[in-house]
Amino acid sequence: MKRRALDVLLPLLLVAILLGAWELYVDLGGVDPAVLPAPHAMAASFWNNAGLIWANFRVTAKEVVIGLALALLSGFAVAVAIHMSPLFRRAAYPLAVGSQAIPIPVVGVLLVFWWGFGIFPKLVVITLICFFPVLVTTVDALAAVDPDQLKLLRTFDATRWQAFRFAELPAALPAAISGARIALAVGVIGAFIAEVTTATTGPHPGLGRQITTDIGFQSARAYAGTAVLFLFAIACFYTLSLLERRLAPWANQARGGIS
C-alpha cells in the first residue's frame, strides 16, 4: 500500500512543484503570457471552453485508440511473418525500416487524395507512426526464444504451430504490447500530425487542429488542449500496462511486478 501511495503522490508532488515554478516564472515577467500562459490561465480557459475541448478530444482519442490497435495488430502479424519466413524478412524488413523516414506531410497529401477528409487517412498516419516499435520489439522477442525450449517441444513431436503457440507466442505477446507502449509516446503526437496534415471536415476537427488554430490567438486554450493530450497519453500507457497483466501475466512476474 505504501508503494502504491508513493507511486501516486510522488508524481503529483513533482507536478505541483513544476506548476508552481511555471506560475512564478510567468507572473514575474519572465515571458509574455500570450506566448506562455500561466497555469491558472490554462485552468480558466479549460473551464470556459470545456465543451469545445471535450468534443475535439473525443475525436482525437478515437483516432489514437483505433490507430494504436491497428498498429498493434499489423505490427504483430508482420513480425510473425518475418520470423516464420527468412525470405519475407529479407524482403520486408528493410522496407519497414525505411518507412520511418517518409515525411508524413507527403503521405498525408496522398491519403487525402485517395480517401478524402474522413477518419481513415488519419488512422493510416497514426498506424504508420506506431507500427515500427511494435514490429521491432516483437521480432526481437521471437528471435530470443530459448532454443532449448524449442528443442524440447520437437522431442515431443510438436508441430511448427504448436511450437509457436506454446513457446514463441508467450514471448511475442508481451513484447508486442511493450512495443505499443513505446509507440504510444509518439502515437498521440501522431494523431496531432495526422489532424494537421490531413484536413478534416465538421465542427470538431480534433485537438490537433484546434491547438494549431489556437496558437498565437487563444494560447491559454491551446495549452489547455495540450494538457489534455498529456494526461490522455499517461492514461493510455497505464491502460496498456493493465492489458499486458491480463493477457500476459507471466511477463509481469518475470519482471518482478515492475511495469
Does residue 29 lie within any of the structural domains? no
Q: Calculate what percentage of the chain has a pLDDT beyond 70.
A: 92
Please determine, for residue 119, whether its predicted confidence score (pLDDT) is greater than 50.
yes
Does residue 129 lie within any of the structural domains? yes
Rg (CA), the chain: 22
Chain segment 48-59, per-residue pLDDT in tens: 999 999 999 998
Burial of 211 (0-12, 13-18, 19+ CB in 10 A): buried
Does residue 70 lie within any of the structural domains? yes
Does residue 154 lie within any of the structural domains? yes
Distance CA 135, CA 189 (A): 19
Does residue 133 lie within any of the structural domains? yes
Does residue 237 lie within any of the structural domains? yes
Domain tally for the chain? 1
Distance CA 24, CA 2 (A): 32
Per-residue pLDDT band at 248 (split at 50, 70, 90): low
Given this model, what pLDDT does residue 159 score? 74
Given this model, what pLDDT does residue 117 score? 75
Mean local confidence (pLDDT), 22-36: 85
Per-residue pLDDT band at 250 (split at 50, 70, 90): low
Q: What pTM does this model have?
A: 0.78
Q: Which domain covers residue 174, as residue numbers?
A: 49-254
Given this model, what pLDDT does residue 258 score? 47
Given this model, what pLDDT does residue 150 score? 73
Does residue 23 lie within any of the structural domains? no
| Straight-line distance from the first to the last Cα atom of the chain, in angstroms, rounded to the nearest whole number | 16
Q: Contact at 8 Å (CB) between 126 and 68?
A: yes
Query: To the nearest whole number, what is the mean pLDDT of the chain?
Result: 81
Mean local confidence (pLDDT), 53-73: 89
Please determine, for residue 96, whether its predicted confidence score (pLDDT) is greater than 70.
yes
Does residue 162 lie within any of the structural domains? yes
CATH of residue 180: 1.10.3720.10
